[in-house]
Chain A
């Protein structure tokens, strides 16, 4: 009995769920049955993942016949994948609880459920792949399944466009990953991952570097590393809520898994530069991701950019871990790996939560535009509370989980001076500073992302008409609980992760990390210490004290309640409250070098000699730098190439016969040689 066996069960149930969905998903009952199975399997997968953290790697097994592309189906459960499997499981449970209320039973929903469970299986297979063929097949299957996922609501060509962005970039990434694997297997004469890792020393340094960089770029497309990120803000808004939750919570994480897989398992790299490159890419992604998030009005585009930020943070941690490894600091390396994996778990929880709640908001109001929302706290109280928990988490505010992992990452990066190399130290500190900026901006962004839609007055009738009954609650609530658990239960989580780190890197820092029951000493014995548990408890207590004091000393006199002081105005209108774009105007002014905003002001008074004022139209557009200066040229080149080779496809039979003849001739000549 080992984690893998449980995963077999989970996979089987998911398969059954997918079939149920495909066949019966167009009836409410079938939908519910499918989701029930899915939740069951998710729970199993989560358990398996959690177990494998402490269990270590299982043996590679090759059940069943060779796969369609040849090569056996090789499966293995590693504790590096454990975190990801657990996240996959939890997300699956939450989505399964959420979907029945979100989706109207129809043929579309049936196909969607099938595609979704196919994607689940593919992700599971990627994580449980013991051989490169299995990995690649699963990876490609996942991409295609997610493509179908995004196409669920084919409202406009905007949907098709977003889905196409996803598919195109996934395929490019896939090619790079294939190249990386081919190099490794060619040099090590192995397809099994363990074998590749064992024979890693056979690979010449140059090829190693090439393979790693190819992998970094290839997985970077999935993980959304800047500038390979452009599919996220395009695909997430058009996908259904649970679909985009799955994309952000799980699929994007697989990108980081791939990077970790190459960095820590397959390619033992020499020299610190690959680590520095990885760390730099992560830091840049984090900063640019949050900066673009601040300019978004669409709730889901905003969350998508924040996903870019978070994967950036994770990759930064992995990169720093690689650097420390290169400088013979195994403890620090292992520690940062732990911190990164912790952040993977955290982000998997709260980002899934936030996307699901964004779906609730869209469901209830029919819009995702923050500037058309407002005042939802009175209309959707339960989802407001849940969103608030998720927001605290993602804004990395204590006592929630985001704070724990980001704080650990900072503690690790602050150890940069121990590398002994000035360059590395400076670069690591720079990365830390960038993450600091990112953290600050993230708080700013999520004050905005929570305050504008949920607080204040409703800006539109639709927002005012939002109602809670019928909205899904259980799924996001589960994730909220998970967020709290990840914060309060940090020591447990860290203990488990230190086992993982020992399995992956062979360094054990359990006693160093957790001297007491609840106290964590991150990074280094004499640097810092804190206890997330006590922190959470005492923060809550600290909030309770003033409340108690108030309740104790409440004035006995009858209190009068009067309306808000509005300066004696005639009437206070919704247009008089801070809007999402005005709230983030200061960043637009500060970072205009990045945004290159184009401001257009049109006043009724401008074209009127008498200077009457009247309707004012004020728009500030941000230049999409990457789309315009990076991707558009590529697209143009491809189109040009397509035009260039069109004459070959003339449609003339004789011409085709000529081609056939030439090919045969060529083959004959080659055979003759």
Chain B
């Protein structure tokens, strides 16, 4: 395997012949401290399969050209690849060389062969083979959704239950597929940012940052340090309000209305801080390729953030002293570190099982290192504690970044990519409140996008949701588990 060191921000890209792919994957999967972060394909005449591996030193991207519409059954070697296998099958028509069924993931049931795709249509469309059906009638399927409670996203659950405990759970995720990656093709990074932010609105900053970083890597430019710090401030603000929202959702799921109100007061105040500092409650339009469009109002941040965080902190303390609340959280929706590693989970969900998975290592975080908050136990309560710890850490980081200085600067992007083969593509990443977000962008010589891959943290963590719900949980635990994951269907379906 020939390594060409295109090491931008710790990314190494490697070509792997199709023959070696299985072996290389097996070696990397076994290597300590290495994790399969993403897998995706791109189709420029010939389909190229890319695996993104996260390592201590940075990210490793392996590129393999696939002929014959088949590639080794990677999900048996690295199980985390399963969702991507399904996605690649319905988008590009190539499938792993295994008889195992592939699920319908994003394309709706009515999507025919002429439905717009990133590549070619698969031979036969995937089915809901993953929908569990019971044999023997001792359990039944409890349909839930897509139109669910008030003010939540559309998502369909099938719960298989024996009347009391949850035997199995599965999701239909195609109700919200908006073809974001598809519509990014042919746009400039600046135009594309508009959609990238709206792929998962609740982590607009993280996805936007990852996408911008990918585009910058593809064009070989780096944003100014002050702009990078501005992005970091926005990212931590986003984490803060998401954790507050998750706390409110937890209270709602456990039926503790007073706690919900307290958390929502904190949430609303944090959102108002966002609006005051960046002019948008959800921090849309802060980041743009090459830098940032807006700078925070430092005075406002310094004045209002501590008060708003104080609300959050006091609400959390009161919650931790409410037994009826804590009892519901403990030993509910347990995930083991083994689960997290096997399914490649990220973010608070993974950190609550004791893994130290965090993408905040380089860029602005190199100078202001993050102390990664972890917990063991892997249950809802552990996730709750991780969220609280991270909220405190975010406030500290924001202080440091503000001291170091922030600005609305941007590095001018070259109008044209340097159309050499192999370059013109780049990987970007950021740590959203839901976990690591990855983006990969390939530009043509006019600087227009030929393939953009967005992978919000939700995509990874929904994989852990059904495992967390299975067994030893009863019906009423599921809303609690969902709140503790705090994922979005929008990010999953894109």
Chain A residues with CB under 8 Å of chain B are 297, 369, 371-372, 459, 566-570, 572-573, 575-586, 589, 599, 601, 603-605, 608-620
6 smallest beta-carbon distances between A and B, as pairs: A585-B163, A371-B137, A610-B82, A582-B163, A618-B139, A568-B147
Contact of A576 among B130, B140, B471 (CB under 8 A): B140
The reply to whether B143 and A569 form a contact with Cβ atoms under 8 Å apart is yes
| Residue pair B109, A570 in contact (C-beta under 8 Å) | yes
Cα-based distance from A568 to B172 in the complex (angstroms)? 13
Q: Complex Cα distance A584/B139, Å?
A: 11
Chain A residues within an 8 Å CB radius of B169: 613
A570 to B141, CA, bound (A): 15
A567-B148 in contact (CB<8A): yes
Q: Which residues in B have some Cβ–Cβ distance to A below 8 Å? A: 75-76, 79, 81-82, 100-101, 103, 109, 129-148, 154, 156, 160-164, 167-170, 342-343, 463, 466-467, 470-471
Cross-chain contact of B168 among A568, A573, A613 (Cβ < 8 A): A613
Task: Find chain B residues with CB under 8 A from A618 CB.
Answer: 134, 136, 138-139, 160, 162, 167
Are B140's CB and A582's CB within 8 A? yes
- Given A572-B143, A603-B168, A613-B169: 12 more A-B contacts, CB < 8 Å: A567-B147, A575-B141, A576-B140, A577-B140, A580-B137, A581-B138, A585-B163, A601-B167, A603-B470, A612-B101, A616-B160, A620-B162
- In whole angstroms, what is the CA distance A617 to B162 when docked? 11
Chain B residues within an 8 Å CB radius of A577 = 140
Could you pull out 22 A-B pairs where Cβ atoms are within 8 angstroms? A371-B137, A569-B143, A570-B109, A572-B143, A576-B140, A578-B140, A579-B140, A584-B163, A585-B164, A603-B168, A609-B79, A610-B76, A611-B463, A611-B466, A612-B103, A612-B130, A613-B132, A614-B132, A616-B133, A617-B135, A618-B160, A618-B162
Least CB distance from A54 to B in Å reads 51
Is A615 a contact of B133 with CB atoms below 8 Å?
yes
The residues of A that contact B139 with a CB separation of less than 8 Å are: 579, 581-582, 616, 618
Could you tell me if A579 and B137 are in contact, using CB atoms closer than 8 angstroms? yes
B75 — which chain A residues lie within 8 A by C-beta? 609-610
Q: Which residues of B contact A570 (CB under 8 A)?
A: 109
CB distance from A81 to the nearest CB of B (A): 44
A563 vs B143: C-alpha distance when bound (angstroms): 16
B96 to chain A, nearest CB (A): 10
Instruction: Point out the residues of chain A lying under 8 angstroms from B133, CB to CB.
Output: 575, 615-616
Known A-B contacts A582-B161, A613-B168; the reply to A569 vs B140 at CB < 8 A is no
Q: A586 to B146, alpha carbons, bound, how many Å?
A: 28
Q: How far is the CA of A459 from the CA of B137 in the complex (A)?
A: 10
Q: How far, in angstroms, from A459 to B140 measured CA to CA in the complex? A: 12
Q: Is B141's CB under 8 angstroms from A573's CB?
A: yes
Residues in chain B near residue A589, CB distance under 8 A: 164
A583 to B137, CA, bound (A): 11
- Of the listed residues A573, A576, A585, A610, the one surrounded by the most CB atoms of chain B closer than 10 A to its CB is A610
Q: Given A567-B146, A609-B76, A611-B463: A616 and B138 within 8 A (CB)?
A: no
Q: How far is the CB of A461 from chain B (nearest CB, A)?
A: 15
Quick one: closest B residue to A568, CB to CB? Answer: B147
* Inter-chain contact B146/A576, CB cutoff 8 Å: no
Query: Chain A's nearest CB lies how many Å from the CB of B176?
Result: 13
Complex Cα gap A609–B133 (Å): 20
- The residue of chain B having its C-beta at the shortest distance from the C-beta of A620 within the complex is B138
CA distance A610 to B135 in the complex (A): 22
- Residues from chain A with a CB closer than 8 A to the CB of B466 are 605, 611, 613
Among the listed A578, A603, A617, which residue makes an inter-chain contact with B136, where contact means beta carbons less than 8 Å apart? Answer: A617
Note all chain B residues with C-beta closer than 8 A to A372.
137
Q: Note all chain B residues with C-beta closer than 8 A to A613.
A: 130-132, 168-170, 466
Most chain A CB within 10 A, of B103, B143, B154, is at B143
Is the Cβ of A585 less than 8 Å from the Cβ of B162?
A: yes
With both beta carbons as reference points, the residue of chain B lying nearest to A621 in the complex is identified as B138
